[in-house]
Structure 1
Amino acid sequence: TVLELGCGTGRNIILAARRYPDARFYGLDISAEMLETAGKAIDREGLSGRVVLARGDATDFDARALFGVERFDRVFVSYSLSMIPGWEKTVSAALAALSPNGSLHIVDFGQQEGLPGWFRALLRGWLKKFHVTPRESLREVLESESRRTGASFRFRTLYRGYAWLAVIKITS
């Protein structure tokens, strides 16, 4: 079972469902418009039987009430923490929704530390137009949550800091 928090238009959940045909997928988003778009895309791809969507807040959700599932083998968050107010609560909620031996996978905008200054400024300006704020403290928050839960933690910088990739694995 796989949950995507902030599933938006469904692009990533569709890619994941195609890649892992034996898994069941669940997508959560706060935007009814995004979910409508995602639902249509999922129908077009013939994945309605394996992908369930629900409207909810990624910082505070009840998976059992929304999906009839209490815990997930994987939870992923792809480029949406940078758009969620109180995003730290999303990390805690995601970890609480994991099954024993489950893992949380996060990719989001990094600090662009290896990019030329002019490009970084241009990119930041463009992201701001879409209410995207790269989370400077993402690594520290994830490390702290990993320690709190006794989970393992891996972190990688991608594309000269354009993005950050993190995996937190619950070990039971």
Structure 2
Amino acid sequence: MDRYLLSALAHTDHPIAAPVSPANVEKLIQRAECPPDARVLDLGCGPGEWTLRALQQYPTARAFAVDMSEEALRRAEDTARDRGLSDRVTYVRGDAREYQPPKACDLVMCVGATHAFGGLEDTLRAVGEHVAPGGTVLIGEGFWERTPDQPTLEALGASPDDFRDLASTVDAVEKAGWTPVHGHVSSPDEWDDYEWSWTGSLTRWALDHPGHPDAEAAIAAAREHRTGWLRGYRGVLGFAFLLLRRLNGSR
């Protein structure tokens, strides 16, 4: 099954492609304290919820949103049209590492997509090229709540050094020349809602389309994901959202 289609289907019930509630998304975007006419860049935008909520928060802002998934961008465009925001957002299908916005941006977001740049430090170097002076970066990054055991690593297809603990993650951010001005750590309830939504959306689609050639693969993918979560990384893998500004920056 095409992985982009699988991801798009799995996020039907939870279009915010991260373990966080809508209220906390809005709080994070508000805490970015952008000007009303901000320029926003979302690298690895997925279904586009972070982008659209930023446009709703800042009434004359414009946004640029980049993703590799044609299906995710189609859904993002549909949602933008439904909310009357299509004229304020430009969607680009392509590699986030290669995209260059028309001008520096007041808010640059990369949530759950640091792997596309090769990790946290490489992501911070890349996004730093797109941030206007005094601007803000929003990073969403995994971390270890506790030392992972072998079932956890197998469930995630990960190695122990793929993530740090939370304190070490913040240390790495500061070493790279940034500092948090606000943050949020996903709660167990947010994680559970995200994972049940992910597996449930995919399963429901497969059950509702029994004749589709991908139906059996979708059921299998949901089952594998659910097992990895419940028997592997639940309570072990955490997720943090960090609002960052340059240590030597000023607004």
Task: Using structure 2 for the length normalisation, give the TM-score.
Answer: 0.52
Please give the alpha-carbon distance, in whole angstroms, between the structure 2 residues aligned to 1:99 and 1:157. Answer: 23
Give the equivalent residue in structure 2 for 1:86.
118
- Contact 1:59/1:86, CA 8 A, preserved across alignment: no
- Contact 1:107/1:164, CA 8 A, preserved across alignment: yes
Structure holding more strand per residue: 1
Mark the structure with the bigger radius of gyration: 2
Identity %: 25
Q: Give the 5 Å matches for 1:16-27.
A: 16-27=54-65
Q: Could you give the per-residue CA deviations for residues 107-136 of structure 1, whole angstroms, max 9, x where no partner exists?
A: 23322339xx89xx67983xx38x9x9951
Which 5+ residue runs of structure 1 have no aligned equivalent? Answer: 64-68
Count of residues in correspondence between the two structures: 155
Give the equivalent residue in structure 2 for 1:144.
175
Does residue 167 of the first structure (1) align with residue 243 of the second (2)? yes
69, 73, 80: which one aligns with 1:42? 80
Which 5+ residue runs of structure 2 have no aligned equivalent? Answer: 1-38, 189-236
Q: Give the 5 Å matches for 1:3-152.
A: 3-63=41-101, 69-81=102-114, 83-84=115-116, 86-87=118-119, 88-113=121-146, 125=155, 128=156, 135-137=162-164, 138-146=169-177, 151-152=178-179
- Contact 2:173/2:179, CA 8 A, preserved across alignment: no
Please give the alpha-carbon distance, in whole angstroms, between the structure 2 residues aligned to 1:124 and 1:8. Answer: 25
Q: Could you give the per-residue CA deviations for residues 3-61 of structure 1, whole angstroms, max 9, x where no partner exists?
A: 11110011221222222222112111122222122112211221101111112322332
Asked which structure has the greater RCO (Cα within 8 Å, sep 6+), the reply is 2
Structure holding more helix per residue: 2
Distance 1:31-1:109 versus aligned 2 partners, 3 A rule = same
* Structure 1 outlier segments of 4+, above 6 Å: none
State the SS of the aligned residue for 1:57: coil
